[in-house]
Amino acid sequence: MKTRLNKTTRAALLDLAIAKVTPGIDARYDVEIAAEDKALQALAHKIAEDLWKPADMAVLAKYDAHCDSKKLRFATDERHNTRTVKLDNPIRTPAFHRHYHGDVIKFGTPECDTLTTAWVRHHNLVESKAKALQEALAPYEVLIRECRYYEDVIEVWAEAVEAADKICGGVTALAKVTPEVVEAIKTDVASRRGGR
């Protein structure tokens, strides 16, 4: 008797594939992405300090006309479409109407161009990581989608045995039956047939 795969069991197998593949992709990209993110945040802090001098921000703070923001936005075109740099440490920016952040760096300025170049480099790394993960998972997705039975998946991908508890649950299926159990049952049947 074979264990038929359904939507839930296929999802369990895909989760297992993601758990097995992701650490290798992370190891390849995370160090570089973290370094690029750190450089991008340092650049954002430098640009913010150059644009909004601490002395000026002290005056604005006196009149409660500032925001402590964990993001810095910059325009990507003349229509004011913006991108955001998320920051670990907040920056002090001017505020309008108390809650509106006045932290959008205008398009075409040297600061905006520098920030755009760094952001695109960081964004491309993140996209490369996502694409590498997608390419690494593609064969597993095809295998899981095309196989009808769990045992067929195990024939190709031996690690799929680790998902047996999620797939078989409390049901006694061939995938969960150990060779010792099979041997014990055969011995018992043979002894009963021999006793007749």
pTM of the model: 0.71
Strand 82-96, strand 100-101: pairing: antiparallel
**72 DSSP β-pair partners:** 85
Residues 173 and 160 in one domain: no
Residues 156 and 186 in one domain: no
User: Domain span at residue 60?
Assistant: 7-164
Residue 182 lies in a domain: yes
Residues 174 and 89 in one domain: no
Residue 95 lies in a domain: yes
Residue 66 lies in a domain: yes
Terminal-residue alpha carbon distance, the chain: 28
State which H helix or E strand residue 116 sits in.
helix 110-146
Residues 116 and 183 in one domain: no
Residue 57 lies in a domain: yes
What does the pLDDT profile of the chain (196 residues) look like in tens digits? Answer: 788 888 988 999 999 999 999 998 999 999 999 999 999 999 999 998 898 888 888 888 888 777 888 888 888 887 778 888 999 999 888 776 544 555 678 888 899 899 999 999 999 999 999 999 999 999 999 999 999 998 888 889 888 888 887 777 644 445 555 677 667 667 766 765 675 5
Chain centre distance of CA 12: 18
Q: Is 98 helix (H, G, I), strand (E, B) or coil?
A: coil
The residues near 189 (Cβ < 8 Å, ≥ 6 apart) are: none
Residue 1 lies in a domain: no
Residues 142 and 188 in one domain: no
Give the Cα separation of 193 and 74 in Å (integer): 82
Give the Cα separation of 29 and 177 in Å (integer): 40
Q: In what order do the strands lie in the sheet with 82-96?
A: 100-101, 82-96, 66-75, 104-105
Residues 119 and 174 in one domain: no
Q: Is 108 helix (H, G, I), strand (E, B) or coil?
A: coil
Token pair recorded at residue 1: 């008797």
Number of domains in the chain: 2
Residues 57 and 135 in one domain: yes
178 secondary structure, DSSP code: -
